[in-house]
C-alpha cells in the first residue's frame, strides 16, 4: 500500500472591504501561490473551455508551476481553454528574453498544453501598434473572458496601464513610466522598450472574474492606495473597486502588513 498524501486546507484570514468581495491573506508566498493555483484549477474544472487572461511576471511563476504539476498529475486539463495576453513590450521580438510571448510559452502555453489555435498572442513586432491593439481588442470582445489573472506593478499599475490611464481604456499602446523601466532594470536586469501593448482597464473590468495576486512589502505599498485611497486614475488598480463584487485579492502576510489602515 502506498503512502496517501494528506491534503490539509490552506489557512488564511480575510480582510473585509466595502467594495472588494474577497481579500485573503495567507501566511507565506508559497501558500498564497498554492491557493491562487487552486482557484484557477477549480475554475477550469468547472469550465474546461474557459478563456483566461494571464499576467506575466515573477509573482505568477510559482502559481503556473503548481498548475503545471496538477496537469501532469491528471488533476485538471487546460487543453481546451483559451489563453490571452495581458500585455507585451513594443517593439519586441518574441525571441527577446523579456518578451511576454516567451514567458507565456515557457510557463503557460506549453506546460498547460494549450493548442496553437487557442493561444491569442499580441504581436510585439506588428508594423502598426494601433492596428495590432485594435485587432487584439476585437478578439477580446468576441467571447466572454472567464478570468483575468493580475499582478500589480509600480505606481499601482495593472497590466501596463500606468498612472493617469483612463478607466474606460481598451487595448492600446502605452508609454511605460520611468518607475516601471527602472523596475525592469533593477529587478529583472532587463533593458526593456519604453512602450508596450496592453489590455486596457475596461477590458479587465469586463471579464467575469478578476484575481489579483501580490506578495511582499513592496506590493503592499502599491495595494494600500488601491484599497483605501480615492478611486482615481492616478491609482490604476483602484479601478477594480468599481467591479469589486467580482474581484478576489490573494496576498501574503508580508504584503498585508503594509496595507495600513482604512483611510
Report residue 105 as a C-alpha cell.
Answer: 510559452
For ligand GLP, the closer of residues 65 and 77 by Cβ is 65
* DSSP letter for each residue of 139-154: HHHTS---EEEE--BG
For ligand GLP, the closer of residues 236 and 244 by Cβ is 236
Per-residue string for binding with ligand GLP, 171-210, x by CB under 6 A?
Answer: ---------x------------------------------
The SS3 call for residue 164 is coil
Q: Give the end-to-end CA distance of the chain in Å, rounded to a whole number.
A: 57
Residues 227-246 that bind ligand GLP (CB under 6 A): none
Q: How far apart are CA 191 and CA 148, in angstroms?
A: 27
At 155, give phi and psi (nearest 5°).
70, 20
Q: How far apart are CA 240 and CA 244, in angstroms?
A: 6
Closest C-alpha among 233, 212, 232 to residue 223? 212
* Residue 247 interacts with ligand GLP (CB under 6 A): yes or no: no
* Residue 86 interacts with ligand GLP (CB under 6 A): yes or no: yes
The SS3 call for residue 14 is strand
CB of 7 vs ligand GLP, minimal distance in Å: 27
CB of 196 vs ligand GLP, minimal distance in Å: 7
For ligand GLP, the closer of residues 81 and 198 by Cβ is 198
* Residue 160 interacts with ligand GLP (CB under 6 A): yes or no: yes
Report residue 212 as a C-alpha cell.
Answer: 489579483
Which member of 21, 45, 58, 182 binds ligand GLP (CB under 6 A)?
58
CB of 215 vs ligand GLP, minimal distance in Å: 9
Which member of 126, 159, 204, 210 binds ligand GLP (CB under 6 A)?
159
Q: How far apart are CA 6 and CA 111, in angstroms?
A: 25
Q: How far apart are CA 7 and CA 120, in angstroms?
A: 35
- Which one of 122-130, 149-157, 204-212, 253-261 is the stretch in contact with ligand GLP (CB under 6 A)? 149-157
Phi-psi region of 203 (alpha: psi -120 to 50; beta: other; left: phi over 0): alpha
Per-residue string for binding with ligand GLP, 107-146, x by CB under 6 A?
Answer: ----------------------------------------
CB of 105 vs ligand GLP, minimal distance in Å: 16
* Residues of the shown chain interacting with ligand GLP in the complex, contacts defined by CB under 6 A: 55-59, 86-87, 150-151, 153, 159-160, 180
Amino acid at each position: 500500500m502506498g503512502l496517501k498524501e494528506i491534503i490539509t486546507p490552506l489557512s488564511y484570514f480575510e480582510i473585509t472591504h466595502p467594495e472588494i468581495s474577497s481579500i485573503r491573506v495567507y501566511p507565506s508566498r508559497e501558500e498564497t501561490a498554492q491557493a491562487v493555483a487552486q482557484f484557477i484549477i477549480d475554475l477550469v474544472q468547472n469550465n474546461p473551455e474557459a478563456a483566461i487572461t494571464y499576467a506575466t511576471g515573477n509573482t505568477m511563476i510559482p502559481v503556473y508551476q503548481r498548475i503545471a504539476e496538477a496537469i501532469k498529475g491528471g488533476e485538471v486539463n487546460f487543453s481546451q481553454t483559451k489563453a490571452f495576453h495581458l500585455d507585451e513590450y513594443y517593439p519586441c521580438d518574441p525571441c527577446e528574453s523579456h518578451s511576454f510571448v516567451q514567458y507565456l510559452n515557457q510557463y503557460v502555453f506549453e506546460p498547460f498544453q494549450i493548442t496553437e489555435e487557442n493561444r491569442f498572442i499580441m504581436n510585439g513586432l506588428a508594423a502598426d501598434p494601433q492596428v495590432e491593439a485594435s485587432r487584439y481588442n476585437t478578439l477580446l470582445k468576441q467571447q466572454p473572458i472567464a478570468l483575468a489573472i493580475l499582478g500589480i506593478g509600480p505606481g499601482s499599475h495593472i497590466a501596463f496601464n500606468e498612472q493617469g490611464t483612463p478607466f474606460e481604456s481598451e487595448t492600446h499602446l502605452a508609454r511605460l513610466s520611468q518607475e516601471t523601466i527602472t523596475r525592469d532594470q533593477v529587478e529583472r536586469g532587463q533593458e526593456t522598450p519604453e512602450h508596450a501593448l496592453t489590455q486596457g482597464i475596461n477590458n479587465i473590468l469586463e471579464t467575469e472574474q478578476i484575481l489579483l495576486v501580490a506578495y511582499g512589502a513592496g506590493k503592499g505599498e502599491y495595494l494600500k492606495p488601491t484599497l483605501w485611497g480615492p478611486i482615481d486614475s492616478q491609482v490604476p488598480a483602484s479601478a477594480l473597486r468599481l467591479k469589486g463584487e467580482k474581484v478576489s485579492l490573494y496576498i501574503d502576510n508580508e504584503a498585508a502588513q503594509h496595507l495600513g489602515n482604512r483611510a
